[in-house]
Amino acid sequence: MKNIFPQGSAWINGEFVKLSEAKISILDWGFLRSDATYDVAHVWKGKFFQLDKHIDRFFKSTEKLRMPCKLKRNDLKKILAGCVKNANLDNAYVEMIQTRGMSPGFVRDPREATPHVMAFAVPFGWILKPEDFEKGLDIFLTNITRIPPSSVDPTIKNYHWMDLVTGMLDAYERGHQTAILVDENNNISEGPGFNIFSVDKSGISTPDHGVLEGITRQTVINLAKELGLEVDEKPIPIEMLKSSDELFATSTAGGVMPITKVSGKKIGTGKAGNITRQIHKLYWEKHTDPNWTLSVEDILK
């Protein structure tokens, strides 16, 4: 099995371990009920980007699940930085997880379980590789409904991904690169691990309902403001998506990524658009700004 693991490192049960040794019991409710939350920060050239925002959201998610994280912020930072250092990665994808844990004797009551925190670092992953930026993403618009907020609170980052995975499989089988799901009102929601932005004559928009409150999504809203542009958070009907001048995806896994085709049909000119380009440029410039970053080495000092 070992050779299938990426370069990486983990922290679990209070210890740093090899990635291949990071395992949870099959009786952990985090597995058997997907009763868990997580967050993913990234490290670029040795520096975490907006780490505190990810930790804020992670802590909030654990509170909403009525299992507030017991780790102190600085200890969590040291754990995450330790994973990156042990993995010997300059550019990393760093995931923190808290599961409900196990209930003694396998009783049904989640309140009996002791929550279980773990973390790991792996090489930075791209939904769209930088060398493919100009070509952009070719996405498949599915008719799958993203799990609605009336069922699962999307502001708790969670592993309920069967709808997203089904979308990915549908997309791959048709030769597309990834998928977009709709919401229960048949407006655009999100894709597997990313939010969506549309640009047209009315300006820049992003769905306001049933989506993860993405850190990169919020960053883009802020960066747009810096560029003198407003982002409207509002429903995006399917027709609006298809007739957009530009479309882009935002994610920790790749930043700001142009979407140039929807279900085979070109969006705008079929190339990365101007607004997308400006926001993308500013997004990566912030990766050297000390106000936005925190170096792995400094955390471990």
Q: Which region, judged by CB under 8 A, interacts with a copy of itself, from 156-164, 212-220, 234-242, 259-267?
A: 156-164
> Residue type at 4?
I
What is the rounded distance in angstroms from the CA atom of residue 101 to the CA atom of residue 112? Answer: 9
- Binding string to a copy of itself for residues 213 to 252, with x set by CB under 8 A, is what? ----------------------------------------
Q: Which H or E run contains 80?
A: helix 73-87
| Pairing mode, strands 36-44 and 255-262 | unpaired
The least distance separating a copy of itself from the CB of residue 205, rounded to whole angstroms, comes to 23
The least distance separating a copy of itself from the CB of residue 33, rounded to whole angstroms, comes to 4
The least distance separating a copy of itself from the CB of residue 153, rounded to whole angstroms, comes to 8
Using the rule CB under 8 A, which residue among 46, 110, 235, 270 binds a copy of itself? Answer: 110
Query: For a copy of itself, which is the closer residue by CB, 82 or 273?
Result: 82
Number of residues that bind a copy of itself (CB under 8 A): 66
Q: Which of 193, 11, 213, 211 is closest to 98 using CA atoms?
A: 11
Q: Which of 190, 177, 193 is closest to 138 using CA atoms?
A: 177
- Binding string to a copy of itself for residues 178 to 207, with x set by CB under 8 A, is what? ------x-------xx--------------
Q: Are 96 and 76 in contact (CB under 8 A)?
A: yes
124 binds a copy of itself per the rule CB under 8 A: no
Q: Which region, judged by CB under 8 A, interacts with a copy of itself, from 51-59, 122-130, 230-238, 277-285?
A: 122-130
Q: Which residues contact 220 (CB under 8 A, 6 or more apart)?
A: 197, 206, 231, 250, 256, 279, 283
Residue 55 has φ and ψ, to the nearest 5°, of -65, -40
Q: Which H or E run contains 198?
A: strand 195-200
SS3 69: coil
Contacts to a copy of itself from residues 62-81, by CB under 8 A: 66
Query: For a copy of itself, which is the closer residue by CB, 144 or 240?
Result: 144
Residue 226 has φ and ψ, to the nearest 5°, of -60, -30
The secondary structure of residue 91, as a DSSP letter, is S
Using the rule CB under 8 A, which residue among 80, 164, 272, 299 binds a copy of itself? Answer: 164
Binding site for a copy of itself (CB under 8 A): 1, 3-6, 8, 10, 12, 19-20, 22-27, 29-36, 38, 66, 97, 100, 102-106, 108-111, 118, 120, 122-123, 125, 127, 144-148, 150-152, 156, 158-165, 168-169, 172, 184, 192-193
